[in-house]
Structure 1
Amino acid sequence: MPSPQGVHRLVQKLESITDLTEAERQGLLSLPLRVQEVRADQDITREGDRPTQSFLLLEGFICRYKLTQVGKRQIFAFHTPGDIPDLLTLHLKTLDHNVGTVTACTVGFIQHEHLHELLRQQPRLMDVFWRDTLVDGAIFREWMLGIGRRSARTRIAHLFCEMTTRLRAVDLVDGNRVPLPITQAELGDALGLSTVHVNRSVQELRGDNLIEWQGGVLTVLDWESLKAAGEFDPTYLHLSGSHTVP
């Protein structure tokens, strides 16, 4: 059995969007995990796979993405500790996208049979996981709005606000310092921008004294102004009130 320290961010993540009973909390903490270290820039699951297990991200950053026929990448989501990025494979047997590491990661693989057994023992967790999946859908819709209708500067400011809010919900933000170990190229692949355009827009945010971003750490210098620059309203994250305040 894993120690509670190994999976407590999953509990934190779920409790940021709903309430858990003590039995549900203990059931999650008792899930059998096979822990594995994965290098950066490695696929964990690939389009076309038919997994018999899902994985919990314990440490690091992961992205979902697809490739065009000529190899251009579109990132659909960044995942942070406490996420189960491929939970959908419990019901969708063939994966329709890739899930890969952005940084070196520690992941815990969970056999589907163990997840099904937990859901039989604690059936309300089905609603909890469904809510988590619906929040993923809300995040995707917000990203689509950004790609389709927001300026480059606004898209980037919005993503910085979103990641700050999500990471704060699992206690990974230290004051105004936010771990964000992604490259400008990865940011461009997520937001439909060239690296040159990303660099120019990040420099604008720096020049306006809203952020610093170096060494994989985002420092938010002016939260309210960054929210305004990104047109950021955290309602779509469906967090409890205590998790939306910086």
Structure 2
Amino acid sequence: MTGGRDLRFRSRLLAFAELTDADRRALDVLLDQRQRIVAPRRDVVTEGEVPRFVHFVLDGWGCRYRQLSDGRRQLLSLLLPGDLFDPCPQAVARTDHAVGSITTMTVAEVAPEALALLSCERPVIVRALWWNNHVAMGTQREWIASLGLRTARERIALLFCEVYFRLQTIGRSAGASCEFPLTQADLAEATGLTPVHVNRMVQELRRDGLIEWGGRRLTILDLDRLCAVASFTPAYLHLDRAVVVG
């Protein structure tokens, strides 16, 4: 049965396209066919796995990551409600990275042939999915630039800004606050820093009156200043195409 999780996913697509009632019903059918709940800190897809499905994040937080044989791990991107991954499983023999859960996740597993059929019948949905994937690629490019160009303080500030704007787009923020279940270790793996360095930068941002972060919730006290610290411009999120969901 279609529930709140599916509606959260649709909120993401609605940010990039105006879905008709028929589009929404077709999407509901697609997402209802096969769903999986993944416990926190577990792999959704392991590196080297033979991909079979296109995955849609209905609820919860996850990440793409690469891990070396000695245990060192780098987060490649965050997956939030409304995102999708493995968009073309039929084109890949084996996955070259892993996807893991951060919180409990609910994912819909869609057979590629079912998505292909939908592509023929519902072009508006396809355009929304295309833009969704385009934003994901733009975000990954920004993370690469951040690792090469930004200071530690700027990298942390960028991640706070990005998550806030992404959640605002799907109606998952409340005023200046949003959920933020990452740990400082997660931030370290996302920004290429040590947990000790992350802690120092977070304390700096707190002392400067820019953020409050605790109890899995982030509050941005001065968004303009935080964006300035991060050299954050939302162009890579393509918010000029998005309609913020209230």
TM-score, normalising length: structure 2? 0.91
Counterpart in the other structure of 1:122: 122
Letter in 2 for 1:161: C
* Cα RMSD (Å): 2.1
Deviations 1:76-104 (A, max 9, x none): 10111111122242533421110000112
Q: Match of 2:85, SS?
A: coil
How far did residue 244 of structure 1 move? 7.0
1:11 aligns with 2:19: no
Letter in 1 for 2:63: C
Deviations 1:138-168 (A, max 9, x none): 1111111111110111111111000000001
Partner Cα distance (1:242, 1:132) in 2 = 10
* Aligned 1:1-246 pairs, distance under 5 A: 2-3=1-2, 5-31=4-30, 32-240=32-240, 243=243
Tell me if structure 2 keeps the 8 A contact 1:56–1:107: yes
Partner Cα distance (1:119, 1:227) in 2 = 37
Cα 1:134–1:242 change in 2 (3 A) is: closer
Letter in 2 for 1:119: S
Tell me if structure 1 keeps the 8 A contact 2:170–2:245: no
Partner Cα distance (1:245, 1:82) in 2 = 12
Q: Is 151-160 or 84-93 further displaced after alignment?
A: 84-93
Partner Cα distance (1:17, 1:157) in 2 = 26
Cα 1:16–1:90 change in 2 (3 A) is: farther
**Count of residue pairs brought into register by the alignment:** 245
Cα 1:133–1:21 change in 2 (3 A) is: same
TM-score, normalising length: structure 1? 0.91
Task: Give identity over the alignment, percent.
Answer: 38
How far did residue 241 of structure 1 move? 6.2
- Identify unmatched segments of 5+ residues in structure 1: none
Partner Cα distance (2:204, 2:184) in 1 = 14
Letter in 1 for 2:57: L
Q: Is 157-166 or 62-71 further displaced after alignment?
A: 62-71
- Identify unmatched segments of 5+ residues in structure 2: none
Letter in 1 for 2:169: A
